[in-house]
Amino acid sequence: MSTRTFSVCVYCGSRHGARPAYTAAARALGQAIGSRGWQLVYGGGQVGLMGEVADATLAAGGRVIGVIPESLKKLEVGHLGLHELHVVPTMHVRKQMMAERADVFIALPGGIGTLEELYEVWTWRQLGYHDQPIGLLNIDGYYDDLLRFMAHTVEQGFLSAAQHGVLQVGADPEQLLLALAAAVGRSDQPDDFSRV
């Protein structure tokens, strides 16, 4: 048995988006992670929702690990105030490293990069590469159309109802976080998480 800090992998946009509610949700999620003494694993950026969730986690006392491709680090978007910032050669290495350090996954609003990360980790779950919970933070109905489409894929026979049900959807950052933590037997106490 190893003891380590409970780790939340967050996927989100490198932009703030059109609504202030997206930024507020990123901050609320970071605060909920940090106030419990948990760890954020994310894409390592200092901009957009990425920077907001990292800064809020740090401000609340949480540990933050960033993983960023070298090409993006060169553009000076890497967050230099983290506990760890791993600069890796490719996006593939980035996603693998983030997944390896995660107990749960949450996707906030974002663009094609966020969607790609969400779908990849969801696919990995379907293929049995991991069994960690996956959450989708649907702020102000941002993902409503996507959720309707995913229900359509079930109706059309391309996705099983069981795999569709793997994705936990919520509109409240803290409630979704705690639901995912509960799915792996984690309470909201600020101590270490023991993985058997």
Unique residue bearing structure tokens 């959807």: 169
If one counts every other C-beta atom within 10 angstroms of the C-beta of residue 56, the result is: 23
Mean pLDDT of the chain: 92
Query: Is the model's pLDDT at 35 over the cut of 70?
Result: yes
pLDDT at 3: 59
Give the chain's domains with CATH numbers: 2-181 (3.40.50.450)
pLDDT at 77: 83
Cα dist from 127 to 7, 28, 121, 131, 179, whole Å: 22, 32, 10, 10, 23
Q: What is the mean pLDDT of residues 86-96?
A: 95
Alpha carbon distance 156, 56 (integer Å): 41
Kindly list the strands in the beta sheet with 63-69, ordered across the sheet, starting from the edge strand earlier in the chain.
Answer: 84-88, 63-69, 39-42, 7-11, 104-107, 134-137, 167-170
How does pLDDT run across 137-149, given as a tens digit for each residue?
Answer: 999 999 999 999 9
Does the structure show a pLDDT above 80 at 159?
A: yes
Residues 6 or more apart whose CB falls under 8 angstroms from that of 100 comprise none
Decide: helix, strand or coil at residue 91. Answer: helix
In the predicted structure, residue 152 carries a pLDDT above the cut 50: yes
Contact 7, 103 (CB under 8 A): yes
Asked whether the predicted pLDDT for residue 74 surpasses 80, the reply is no
Looking at residue 4, its pLDDT comes to: 74
Confidence of residue 72 (pLDDT cuts 50, 70, 90): confident
Q: How far apart are CA 71 and CA 52, in angstroms?
A: 21
The pLDDT value given to residue 196: 25
Instruction: Tell me the per-residue pLDDT of 97-118, one tens digit each, with 9 for 90 and over.
Output: 999 999 999 999 999 999 999 9
Across the chain, the runs of DSSP E, i.e. the strands, are: 2-4, 7-11, 39-42, 63-69, 84-88, 104-107, 134-137, 167-170, 193-195
Q: Which two tokens stand for residue 95?
A: 């996603």
